[in-house]
Amino acid sequence: MHAAVITAYDAPPVYGEHPEPVAQGEHEIVVDVLAAGLHHLTRAKADGTHYSATGVFPLVPGADGVVRDPSGRLRYAALDDTNLGTFAERTVIDTRRSVALPDDVDPVRIAAAMNPGMSSWVALRRRITFREGQRVLILGATGSAGRMAVQIAKRFGAAQVFAVGRDATRLKALSDLGADRALTFDEVATAADVDVVLDFVWGTPAADAMLPILTARADRSAPLTWIQIGSMAGASALIPSTALRSARLEIVGSGIGSVSPRDFISELPELVNAVAEGAVDVQARAVPLSQIARTWSEKTSERLVFVP
């Protein structure tokens, strides 16, 4: 079969022949891959910057995808730590980490949406007790995950959603997706009285935004939960002790390890339905897997989805 293979952290993927996968565990099956998204998680695991990267090569990247099982059923599958990912014609999945899909779904749309959509979906469902009527501020709302977070927060009953980002053009478009206000990072203090922050950026931008938000709150004793989801602006953020003492701030993380695989999987069917019915806008572009070397580092607002 053909697959994309990475041989070192600083090496790009190479498309070529690869040995056929073999199922070994009780719950494992060999499946045909129909579509697999190029997510930030996939890139970070491949270049060693994600905390779950194994450092074992050769590596076929791909953390999830839409597959067809031996019975002909479509499934969305999330892979555990493995060196045989979904950027291949075939791979091995654990059926316990997959959900069956309707026959009429668009594999590219599902593959593009599930990973970025799950980040905010699980954060609001599994890391905190989110209540209808609460207000949400999203740092990094112009990326794929941030755009979907705007829609998901509204779907869960957020009274107000404030979208924060740097790209003015993309920010303006978020009002059509449900954002009540679109703000630059310099304007975050004007939306200080929120209940939840979904942070996809971290690093210096998050640290610089935190104190202005906290000091501008009408009631500093009102709870504010800051959920750290992504680190597009840096893996570390210098948080002053004042931020933790001067307001009722709670910082939690949401991701692999802080949420159990069982909890992730249990949320998948409802997200699949939301995406399939068009309730969540998805920007996706299908790319032949054979072109992975050319598109691997491409910067685009669309979620690239490789099709073997």
pLDDT band at 135 (very low <50, low <70, confident <90, very high): very high
* Per-residue model confidence as pLDDT tens digits over 105-131: 999 999 999 999 999 999 999 999 999
User: What is the band of 219 on the pLDDT scale with cuts at 50, 70, 90?
Assistant: very high
**Average pLDDT of the segment spanning 208-224:** 97
Going by pLDDT thresholds of 50, 70 and 90, the confidence category of residue 80 is confident
**What's the rounded Cα separation, in Å, for the pair 1 and 250?**
49
Residue 53 has pLDDT above 90, yes or no: no
Among candidate residues 253, 283, 298, the one where a domain is terminated: 253
Q: Are residues 140 and 229 in the same domain?
A: yes
Domain co-membership, 229 together with 135: yes
Q: State what percent of residues in the chain have pLDDT above 70.
A: 100
**pLDDT, mean of residues 152-160:** 98
The rounded mean pLDDT for the chain is 95
Is pLDDT at 158 greater than 90 in this prediction?
yes
Statement to judge: residues 75 and 104 lie in one domain: yes
The confidence band for 51, taking pLDDT boundaries of 50, 70 and 90, is: confident
Query: Do 123 and 110 have their domain in common?
Result: no
Q: Which of 62-66, 122-126, 185-189, 242-246 has the lowest mean pLDDT?
A: 242-246
Q: Are residues 123 and 216 in the same domain?
A: yes
Least confident span in 41-55, 79-93, 168-182, 263-277: 41-55
139 and 240 inside one domain: yes
Measure CA of the first residue to CA of the last residue in the chain; give whole Å.
10
Instruction: Break the chain down into helix, strand, coil percent, rounded to 5.
Output: 35, 25, 40
DSSP state of 204: H
User: Is 110 in a helix, a strand, or coil?
Assistant: helix
Range of the domain at 86: 2-114+261-307
40 shares its domain with 78:
yes
Q: Over range 38-57, report the average pLDDT.
A: 86
Q: What is the CATH number of the domain that holds 146?
A: 3.40.50.720
Question: Using an 8 Å Cβ cutoff, are 198 and 134 in contact?
Answer: no
> Last residue of some domain: 207, 233, 253?
253
Give the pLDDT score at 48: 87
Total domains in the fold of the chain = 2
Cα 278 to Cα 126: distance, rounded to the nearest angstrom: 23
State the pLDDT at residue 207.
Answer: 96
Q: Which among 235, 253, 271 is the end of a domain?
A: 253
For residue 62, the model assigns a pLDDT of: 96
Residue-level pLDDT at 50: 80
- For residue 52, pLDDT over 90 is answered with no
Single out the residue of 113, 156, 114 nearest to residue 282, CA to CA: 113
Of 48-52, 153-157, 227-231, the range with the lowest mean pLDDT is 48-52
Statement to judge: residues 79 and 120 lie in one domain: no
Q: How sure is the predictor about 102, in pLDDT bands with cuts at 50, 70 and 90?
A: very high
Rounded Cα distance, 15 and 104, in Å:
30
Domain match, 199 and 287 both = no
Confidence of residue 215 (pLDDT cuts 50, 70, 90): very high
Say what the pLDDT of residue 300 is. 85
Q: Which pLDDT score is estimated for 144?
A: 92
CATH code of the domain covering residue 87: 3.90.180.10
DSSP 121-171: HHIIIIIS---TT-EEEEETTTSHHHHHHHHHHHHTT-SEEEEE-S-HHHH
Position 210 scores a pLDDT of 97
Q: What is the CA radius of gyration of the chain?
A: 20
For 169, the token pair is 């053009």
Residues 122 and 109 in one domain: no
Please tell me whether residues 212 and 222 are part of one structural domain: yes
- Tell me, yes or no, whether 30 and 41 share the same domain: yes
Tell me if the bond preceding 19 is cis, omega within 30° of 0. Answer: no
pLDDT at 54: 81
